[in-house]
Amino acid sequence: MGYALASQLCGVDVSFKAVRFGFDVYWAQILVARDSDYDSLDDLAGLKWGYPDPGSTSGYMVPLVMLQEAGLEPGEQVQTGGHNQSVQALYNGEVDFSTSFYSPPTLVDTGGVAWEEGQDPDIPADLVDSCGLNADGNLVCGNYRVRDARANIREASPDVVQETRILMISPSIPNDTLSFGPEFPADLRTQIEDALVAFAETEEWGASIGSQDFYNWTGLSVATDEEYDFIREMVAAVGITLESLGQ
């Protein structure tokens, strides 16, 4: 959403979108308590919803459209301040469901992605009891490493997977961008683009831009402005304006 607004208001233009573990898209996830009896989107009507902030695409915009398209009205809505805080609010029992970003789990031994679209997005049920921090401080369940927003509260709440589950995820969303302002020199832009493509093929990339502690971009994918049209359409559909974003 940040890019969609910047391009519309300021002429910002996209060059690349992030690739994370083979995907240049990501998803919104709806989390509920693992011991709850919620089975579908319909079960969320009238329940207390925790979300990061109104400007969050995966944390608010996409889930809001999902609820609206289903004809559902949540109950009290709580702006938590961030994806981590939304997960924590559900973990603490402060909300009935929460929304945040979803990235698929990877395999500990190979680093490969352990999920395909259409499969259950959550950790296999038979591995849930095994979830916890490994020697490297990562949240793992058997050979699965958790990569969705729950992993971000792993130190404070290492049993977050045992306490929460993914009810469902959204349709895919284009990843965050590397973009340029309208007055940025074209020749310098080309140099930067070429340098980043080359840098992404080096080991040093993984220790900087590709590091989990930085952007966690495992690669780059060429992006076009048109890919973000559906974000603009969602903004218009739900009536969100720049003036209302902070309210």
In a domain, 140, yes or no: yes
* Residue 94 sits in the same domain as residue 202: no
In a domain, 243, yes or no: no
Unique residue bearing structure tokens 């849930």: 128
Domain hosting residue 140, numbered range = 26-172
Unique residue bearing structure tokens 């994370």: 20
* Residue 150 sits in the same domain as residue 224: no
Unique residue bearing structure tokens 């284009």: 174
CA distance 90 to 83: 11
Nearest to 123 by CA among 48, 31, 24, 56: 31
Confidence (pLDDT) at 29 = 98
* Residue 231 sits in the same domain as residue 144: no
CA distance 85 to 81: 6
Q: Please state the domain count of the chain.
A: 2
* Residue 31 sits in the same domain as residue 7: no
Average pLDDT for runs of 10 along the chain of length 247: 86 95 92 97 97 91 91 96 98 98 93 90 97 96 96 97 98 93 98 97 93 87 92 76 59
Confidence (pLDDT) at 196 = 96
* Residue 109 sits in the same domain as residue 133: yes
In a domain, 131, yes or no: yes
In a domain, 247, yes or no: no
Query: Any idea what DSSP says for residue 161?
Result: H
Nearest to 4 by CA among 228, 234, 243, 240: 228
In a domain, 125, yes or no: yes
Confidence (pLDDT) at 60 = 92
Confidence (pLDDT) at 244 = 65
